[in-house]
Amino acid sequence: MSPREDLRSPSIFIGKQGQDIISFGSGQPDLPPPVEVTEGLSVRFDLRYGLIQGEYELRKALSHEYPDSTADNFIITNGASEALDIIFRAMGRGKVLLPRPYYYSYPNIVSFAGMEAVYTNLKDGRIDMDDFNKKIKDCKAVLINSPSNPTGRIERIETLKEIEEITRNKNIYVVSDEVYKDLIYERENYHIKGNHVITVNSFSKTYAMCGVRVGYLWSSDQEIVNKAIEIKTHTSMNTSLIAQDMALNAMQAPKTYIKEQQKIWLSRRDIIFKGLCDLGFNLWKPEGAFYVFPEFTSPEKLVWDLYTKYKVIIYLGDWFGTHDRIRLSYALDSKEIEEGLNRMETALKKEKYT
Amino acid sequence: MSPREDLRSPSIFIGKQGQDIISFGSGQPDLPPPVEVTEGLSVRFDLRYGLIQGEYELRKALSHEYPDSTADNFIITNGASEALDIIFRAMGRGKVLLPRPYYYSYPNIVSFAGMEAVYTNLKDGRIDMDDFNKKIKDCKAVLINSPSNPTGRIERIETLKEIEEITRNKNIYVVSDEVYKDLIYERENYHIKGNHVITVNSFSKTYAMCGVRVGYLWSSDQEIVNKAIEIKTHTSMNTSLIAQDMALNAMQAPKTYIKEQQKIWLSRRDIIFKGLCDLGFNLWKPEGAFYVFPEFTSPEKLVWDLYTKYKVIIYLGDWFGTHDRIRLSYALDSKEIEEGLNRMETALKKEKYT
């Protein structure tokens, strides 16, 4: 094993857990789902195809969460991943603007769809409107992810409104990946609106049910919704019916469930943010999601040392399009976060980093 | 509503059922799944991500059904549709040979993957090796579907062996869609083999659980399997865990379940085949799957009349790449098949067809 070969992608760390490993890698809640998801779930015996677009009851329930929407505006998908995959495939050829650093699947999803990714670099972890305006001109779409994985930042409401208007005027699609919308510490989520907007969301993070794979897209542009349904007809058909039943069950959970989760995430954020500051890292204070993205001058060596000598998993900034940074997820117990920080402290003292 | 506009695709008939409609449209078993699928299903409370490739226990169980295979050779997918989608995306650019008539999603799946479909016309419902040999030369892959939807034919074992050898020698992938492998009336399924073969299969037809969406691909070419896993990592992640649990449960059903199903399908086949022959249709006797594909000179008018005046749904041959034919699925009760045939008899007498 050598760092250069093995650190090409996060797959080296997939499935690595237990055995005294502290993993700041995985981007999923460790907390349990609400009991409503499984309790009282009645497994249907009629297992014939469902509607490609998704079960009506679930889409109807979702429509109550989105102003001026109907069940027709939604497609239920195999997680937010499939929602992104089919929406870009529905657009045809063209350029997609991606803020960088980005969630590592974005460039792949865009290129798999036959589209071309172009990038605008974030400034201080947020969209730089000067650069954005230069790059957006000849794009067919832009992908916004606020709160962001990997930066943990949220965009300013003014920025989101400005993007909303610029893209509306230029007839450019906005794909707004809001999977962390219920994990914002600073303010309410601002939901980008307009007929040119496709919102992507998921039950995975809000209800801690990543493995069930239920996400959705929402748009008032019925033409793009219909195109995406047409694609899904050929590439996967309906999202698993029982998975959709579990998602509908999740929506019965009391709102206090989400509030309680937010408290836990907030206290974890405070622990890891303070801990990393104390260790001398330079980083943005997370405002949403559950990631920190500190600077570090020799990130490959640190990732490698921590994994091979200290049983700590952290991710490399390169996987998110950015050198000289590392990503840590704090989706783990406070005690584990503290133990992980202690091991990092030891590593930083013992090993040599330039 | 006008036939020309509305008969562009089968979507006109999706969700059309009940209200005295007899549907020969839908390609899914109407019979119940084995009780094992739902009885004793324990819904897990830990709903975190599973392995992208699929749950080990399910892949292990499948490996016992495929000679010389291990769990590593399988990917569990959102139905056979996703298996086809990711395998062609994993191949890169190039031509794919499709026997025509074809299952209507094939050309779309191939073009969505950025590949180019070329066609070899079936002769008497089977692959014509003269034409096949001309067309296969500059292809990267060929897609075989035996038993076939829509023809109901199975390829001769000699043909399958010949294809196996030609493609092996020329380094051409064979994607063998065997979703109807347990619905053959004439002989055992012949499973195309070789390191260049990707077998696609599903729990949907064998276990009457289409809506659960569990399929898989199998190949001993670990390189193409790994590429497909990489694509699935970005486009949908793991197949729903609970759906995979149901698939594993289905495999506990006694083999008599499949035998009993075959008997029912056989008796239905005999009813519809004789009935259509008696009505004067020219058609192949189905050897597998649950479709008949008779010739008819004015299929659009017949499809339209039957739907609008007689409440009978049949599909247009054009959707499967072939003029002057219609497709009927016999995935419905014998009594309904007979009632449908009666209505067709009335239509043929009353309406004018040239």
Between B2 and B1, the higher pLDDT residue = B2
Closest CA to A75 of A89, A93, A95: A89
Give residue B7's pLDDT band: very low, low, confident or very high (50, 70, 90): confident
Between B15 and A242, the higher pLDDT residue = A242
Between B326 and A13, the higher pLDDT residue = B326
For residue B298, give the 3-state DSSP assignment. coil
| Amino acid identity, position A7 | L
- Residue B18 has a pLDDT of 78
Angle A222-235/A79-89 helices, nearest 10 degrees? 110
| Amino acid identity, position A20 | D
H or E segment and range at residue A292: strand A291-292
**Arithmetic mean of pLDDT over chain B:** 95
Closest CA to B55 of B253, B249, B238: B238
CA distance B227 to B218: 13
- Residue A304 has a pLDDT of 96
Q: Is residue B138 a part of any domain in this protein? A: yes
- Residue pair A91/A141 in contact (Cβ under 8 Å)? The answer is yes
Contacts of B234 in chain A (CB under 8 A): 81, 85, 105, 108-109, 112
In this structure, the answer to whether residues A15 and A97 fall within a common structural domain is no
In this structure, the answer to whether residues B184 and B287 fall within a common structural domain is no
Q: Is residue B33 a part of any domain in this protein? A: no
The residue count of chain A comes to 354
The values of phi and psi at residue B244, to 5°, are: -65, -35
In CATH, what number is assigned to the domain containing residue A10? Answer: 3.90.1150.10
For residue A123, the 8-state DSSP code is: B
- Residue A325 has a pLDDT of 98
- Which among A11, A44, A236 has CB closest to B213? A236
Smallest Cα distance from A328 to chain B, Å: 18
Burial of B244 (0-12, 13-18, 19+ CB in 10 A): buried
CA distance B298 to B340: 19
Q: In total, how many domains does chain A have?
A: 2
Contacts of B247 in chain A (CB under 8 A): none
Percent of chain A with pLDDT over 70: 99
Instruction: Say whether residue B236 is in contact with chain A using an 8 A CB cutoff.
Output: yes
The CA-atom distances, in angstroms, between B217 and each of B13, B81, B94 are 29, 10, 20
Q: Is residue B130 a part of any domain in this protein? A: yes
Q: CA angle A185-A187-A193, nearest 5°?
A: 125
Q: Is residue B134 a part of any domain in this protein? A: yes
The CA-atom distances, in angstroms, between A48 and each of A267, B28, B217 are 45, 7, 21
Q: Is pLDDT at B335 greater than 90 in this prediction?
A: yes
In this structure, the answer to whether residues A305 and A199 fall within a common structural domain is no
H or E segment and range at residue B313: strand B312-313
Q: CA angle B76-B80-B85, nearest 5°?
A: 90
- Which among A28, A109, A238 has CB closest to B48? A28
Closest CA to B234 of A327, A89, A255: A89
Q: Is residue B67 a part of any domain in this protein? A: yes
Smallest Cα distance from A28 to chain B, Å: 7
In this structure, the answer to whether residues B338 and B238 fall within a common structural domain is no
CB contact under 8 A, B81 and A208: no
Place of tokens 């016309």: B121
Among B residues 301-340, those touching chain A with beta carbons less than 8 Å apart: none
The values of phi and psi at residue B329, to 5°, are: -90, 140
- Residue pair A299/A326 in contact (Cβ under 8 Å)? The answer is yes
Domain finish residue from A200, A227, A250: A250
Strands (E), A74-181: 74-77, 95-100, 116-121, 141-144, 173-177
In this structure, the answer to whether residues B159 and B209 fall within a common structural domain is yes
Q: Is residue B38 a part of any domain in this protein? A: no
The values of phi and psi at residue A295, to 5°, are: -75, 150
Give residue A19's pLDDT band: very low, low, confident or very high (50, 70, 90): confident
The residue of chain A nearest to residue B230, with distances taken between CA atoms, is A11
In this structure, the answer to whether residues B97 and B173 fall within a common structural domain is yes
- Residue pair B53/B353 in contact (Cβ under 8 Å)? The answer is no
Mean pLDDT of B35-48: 90
**Arithmetic mean of pLDDT over chain A:** 95
Sign (positive or negative) of CA dihedral A238, A241, A243, A247 = positive
User: How many Cβ atoms from other residues are within 10 Å of residue A23's Cβ?
Assistant: 22
Contacts of B209 in chain A (CB under 8 A): 47
Name beta bridge partners: A97. Answer: A118, A142
Q: CA angle B186-B188-B193, nearest 5°?
A: 130
In this structure, the answer to whether residues B103 and B209 fall within a common structural domain is yes
Q: Is pLDDT at A44 greater than 80 in this prediction?
A: yes
Between B9 and B346, the higher pLDDT residue = B346
The CA-atom distances, in angstroms, between A340 and each of A47, A293, B150, B346 are 45, 16, 58, 77
CA distance B290 to B313: 15
For residue A278, give the 3-state DSSP assignment. helix
Interface test with A, best of B55, B235, B319, B320 (most A CBs within 10 A): B235
- Residue A2 has a pLDDT of 59
- Which among B33, B210, B236 has CB closest to A81? B236
The two structure tokens encoding residue A331: 């989706």
- Residue pair A81/A200 in contact (Cβ under 8 Å)? The answer is no
Mean pLDDT of A174-203: 94
CA distance B113 to B105: 12
CB contact under 8 A, B37 and A50: no
The two structure tokens encoding residue A144: 């916004």
pLDDT in tens, B126-141: 999 999 999 999 999 9
In this structure, the answer to whether residues B180 and B201 fall within a common structural domain is yes
Domain finish residue from A207, A234, A250: A250
Contacts of B235 in chain A (CB under 8 A): 81-82, 85, 109, 112
Instruction: Say whether residue B211 is in contact with chain A using an 8 A CB cutoff.
Output: yes
In this structure, the answer to whether residues B289 and B226 fall within a common structural domain is no
Interface test with A, best of B37, B48, B93, B115 (most A CBs within 10 A): B48
Instruction: Say whether residue B205 is in contact with chain A using an 8 A CB cutoff.
Output: no
Burial of A279 (0-12, 13-18, 19+ CB in 10 A): middle
- Residue B2 has a pLDDT of 59
Domain finish residue from A229, A250, A271: A250
In this structure, the answer to whether residues B124 and B269 fall within a common structural domain is no
Q: Is pLDDT at A1 greater than 70 in this prediction?
A: no
Provide the residue range defining the domain that includes A283: 3-27+255-350
CB contact under 8 A, B234 and A108: yes
Strands (E), B51-147: 74-77, 95-100, 116-121, 141-144
Mean pLDDT of B188-213: 95
- Residue pair A291/A276 in contact (Cβ under 8 Å)? The answer is no
Interacting residues of A114 by C-beta distance below 8 A, sequence separation 6+? A89, A92, A93, B114
In CATH, what number is assigned to the domain containing residue B173? Answer: 3.40.640.10
CB contact under 8 A, A212 and B89: no
Q: Is residue B105 a part of any domain in this protein? A: yes
In this structure, the answer to whether residues B60 and B190 fall within a common structural domain is yes
Give residue A64's pLDDT band: very low, low, confident or very high (50, 70, 90): very high
Instruction: Say whether residue B52 is in contact with chain A using an 8 A CB cutoff.
Output: yes
In this structure, the answer to whether residues A235 and A188 fall within a common structural domain is yes
Least confident of A217-221, B38-42, B143-147, B221-225: B38-42
Q: Is residue B239 a part of any domain in this protein? A: yes
Q: CA angle B20-B22-B25, nearest 5°?
A: 140
Give residue B5's pLDDT band: very low, low, confident or very high (50, 70, 90): confident
Secondary structure of B222-237 as H, E, C letters: HHHHHHHHHHHHHHCC
Contacts of A112 in chain B (CB under 8 A): 89, 231, 234-235
The two structure tokens encoding residue A141: 């779409």
pLDDT in tens, B250-277: 999 999 999 999 999 999 999 999 999 9
- Which among A48, A108, A236 has CB closest to B78? A236
